[in-house]
Amino acid sequence: MTEFTPKIVAFVCNWCAYGGADNAGSQKLEYPAAVKLIRVMCSGRVEPEMVMQAFRQGADGVMVLGCHPGDCHYRNGNMKALRRFRLFSRLLAQFGIHQDRFVFDWVAASEGKKFQTVATRLAAAVQKLGPLSLTGYVRQGEPS
Amino acid sequence: MKRKSSRAAKAAKISKPALRRTKTRKYAPRAKTAAAPKPKVAFYWCSSCGGCEEAVVDLEENILEVTAAVDIVFWPCALDFKTEDVRALPDQSLAVAFINGAVRTSEQEEMVKLLRAKSQLVIAFGACAVQGGIPSLANLKDKESIITRAYREAESVVNPKGTLPQENTTLHGESLTIPRFYETVYTLADVIPVDYYLPGCPPTRSLLEDALHAILGNRLPARGAVLAPNHSLCKTCERNATKPDRLMIQDLKRIHQVAADPESCFLAQGLLCLGPATRDGCGQACIKANMPCTGCFGPLSHFDQGAKMLSALAGIFQAEGETAADHFAASVVDPAGTFYRYGVAASLLGGRRKERSHG
Ligand code: SF4
Ligand code: SF4
């Protein structure tokens, strides 16, 4: 059996979380190579559809990281994202996707350490859960 | 203000053709000679409630006009034709097959494949065939738990031995085979190529009439089209004009908890209405009955209905902060059942995996 290497997609906002990841890099703080960053202008720009696409296209874990409350470059995009993804997490569970596979959190541009912690924790959780297999999908031997 | 009133006027204008037509339209007269046979039509049902069949019957006196123009050669719900009759037909000899219901069993798969071979056009009729419909809510559970619930646990079931249905049973030397119950519910297009889609739960009478006229008059759009407008219900909703410019809600209420105002936008009243994420074409039957839209017409082309609605709803919720976000999230009692009531089988997370075939 080949060893499972999780794929993790991280949507990071341009103004804070991306800076946080960058900060982790400049401090030489290691975080799992499985984490692929996608830079967006604001966490409020990340639509649930994008996270679903990530899962559908093979991500085993997804995180959306934005500025801390009060720090949003666009005033309240992060708050919209917070409401969206709190509800979204409940929806994921109904579709059989373990809640530990999805993380929404705040990371400031100076928080390289926090970025490392969040990324490492998600990678470990996903490693424990194993590869994602979506339910409700076509199984072998059924209509083709 | 001006913008709003023109919007309202437009809404009134557009919604009119969706009203019931009582005037009968005439199809091109057909010669009564054997040289011009009437086009053959089939109706079939898969996992469905019978509502879509009812929608055909609802054509009322106009059904006579339809039967005058076409030959119905297969309609298990209403006419006594057998599968063998369909098998005996030459391939492509049916002008059109209207198929409603989702696909869940091997028998349904077999039948829709047969009808596909025999028909020039296949129309997915109704929410179940188009998006999976109510039956595809079952995709949120696995097959085993559904069978156990239905045959052992349901309050009305008496099954002391815990017997479960088997595909093959031998009793007194006789063997019985029943269709296989698949792991998941499929949309019609997951199983066979579909030419046109008629959404709705069920499709409205005017939508069906328009489709029939388009087929008989050879005025169909390009294949693959959904035979309903590609804009959201809000666009023609007569309540849209009452929507404030900046829609903000403080609290989400459920329809049974309040006396809904019969004129203003449901969302603005804090009632969840799926209009923004749902395709237009229903004639606003629910809205007119003072009930918010539950989304049966499915999404607009290329969108995921539930994701869009969830997004929109979270966007207009006013309260900020973590506690408020949790309160908001908890106020949607059943997110999947609310945002994907008619379309789990066509959704991004529960739909067919088209990109890769392995688990
Ligand atoms: S679309 Fe609606 S009316 Fe038609 S079969 Fe499905 S549940 Fe019944
Ligand atoms: S949200 Fe509902 S009530 Fe409001 S305009 Fe849209 S369809 Fe009409």
According to DSSP H, which parts of chain B are helical?
2-15, 51-57, 62-69, 83-87, 106-118, 127-131, 143-148, 188-191, 205-216, 285-288, 305-316, 322-331, 335-339
Q: Are residues B345 and B291 part of one domain?
A: yes
Average pLDDT of the residues of chain B: 88
Residue B321: which pLDDT band, with cuts at 50, 70 and 90?
confident
Residue B10 is predicted with a pLDDT of: 45
The answer to whether residue B151 is domain-embedded is: no
Could you tell me the domains of chain A? 8-128 (3.40.50.960)
Encoded tokens for A24: 């982790």
Rounded distance between C-alpha atoms, residue B1 and residue B333, angstroms: 36
On whether both B189 and B278 belong to a single domain, the answer is no
Query: Which secondary-structure segment (H or E) carries A21?
Result: helix A17-26
Q: Do residues B246 and B340 both lie within one domain? A: yes
> Does a structural domain hold residue B103?
yes
pTM of the model: 0.88
Confidence band, pLDDT 50/70/90 cuts, at residue B34: low
Q: How confident is the model at residue B66 (pLDDT cuts 50, 70, 90)?
A: confident
Does the pLDDT of residue B26 top 60, yes or no? no
The answer on B300 and B195 residing in a single domain is no
Q: Inter-chain contact B349–A55, Cβ cutoff 8 Å? A: yes
Please name which ligand lies nearest the alpha carbon of B243: 2
ipTM reported for the complex, 2 dp: 0.92
Are A52 and B349 an interchain contact pair (Cβ–Cβ within 8 Å)? yes
Q: What is the pLDDT of residues A61-81, one digit of tens each?
A: 999 999 999 999 999 999 999
Please give the structure tokens belonging to residue B171. Answer: 């009793």
Residues B128 and B189 occupy one common structural domain: yes
Please tell me the distance in Å from B144's CA to the nearest CA on chain A: 13
Tell me the chain B residues in contact with residue A89 when contact means C-beta distances shorter than 8 Å: 329
Query: At B120, phi and psi to the nearest 5?
Result: -75, -35
Look at B348 and A96 and tell me if their CB atoms are within 8 Å.
Answer: no
Ligand nearest to the CA of B291: 2
pLDDT averaged per 10 residues in sequence order, chain A, 144 residues = 87 97 96 96 97 93 97 94 96 91 98 98 95 63 52
Report d(CA B276, CA B289) in Å as an integer.
18
Is residue B144 domain-resident? no
Helix, strand, coil percentages (3-state) for chain A, rounded to 5, are: 40, 15, 40
Q: Which residues line ligand 1 (CB under 6 A)?
A: B 48-49, 51-52, 100-101, 126-128, 133-134, 201-202
pLDDT surpassing 90 at residue B353: no
pLDDT tens, position by position, B226-284: 999 999 999 999 999 999 999 999 999 999 999 999 999 999 999 999 999 999 999 99
What pLDDT is stored for residue B67 in this prediction? Answer: 82
Scanning A44-103 for CB atoms below 8 A from B yields 47-49, 52-53, 55-58, 69, 76, 79-80, 82-84, 86-92, 94-97
Q: Cα(B13)–Cα(A92) distance, rounded to whole angstroms?
A: 40
Same domain (yes/no): B195, B285: no
Flag whether B120 is in a domain. yes
Residue B21 has pLDDT above 50, yes or no: no
Give the Å distances, CA to CA, from B217 to A93, B29, B206, B214, B358.
Answer: 48, 11, 16, 5, 44
User: Which residues 6+ apart lie within 8 Å of B303 measured at CB?
Assistant: A49, B277
The CA distance from A52 to the nearest CA of chain B, in Å, is 6
pLDDT in the model for residue A143: 56
Q: Among all chains, which residue has been given the structure tokens 């995996």?
A: B353
Give the count of alpha carbons within 13 A of B93, CB side only: 13
> What is the CATH number for B94?
3.40.50.700
Question: Are B202 and B275 contained in the same domain?
Answer: no
B69 and B200 inside one domain:
yes
DSSP classification of residue B282: S
Q: Are residues B71 and B190 in the same domain?
A: yes
Rounded CA gap, B293 and B284, in Å? 8
User: In terms of C-beta density within 10 A (0-12 exposed, 13-18 middle, 19 or more buried), how is residue B30 classed?
Assistant: middle
* Percent of all residues in chain B with a pLDDT value above 90, rounded to a whole number: 76
Considering the domain boundaries, does residue B311 fall inside one? yes
Residue B18 lies in a domain: no
Residues B237 and B277 in one domain: yes
- Point out the residue among A83, A90, A140 whose CB comes nearest to the CB of B335: A90
The verdict on B194 and B285 lying in the same domain is no
Q: How many domains does chain B fold into?
A: 2
Query: Residue B64's domain spans which residues?
Result: 25-134+184-216
Segment B7-21 mean pLDDT: 41
Residue B6 — pLDDT band, cuts 50, 70, 90? very low
Residues B211 and B266 in one domain: no
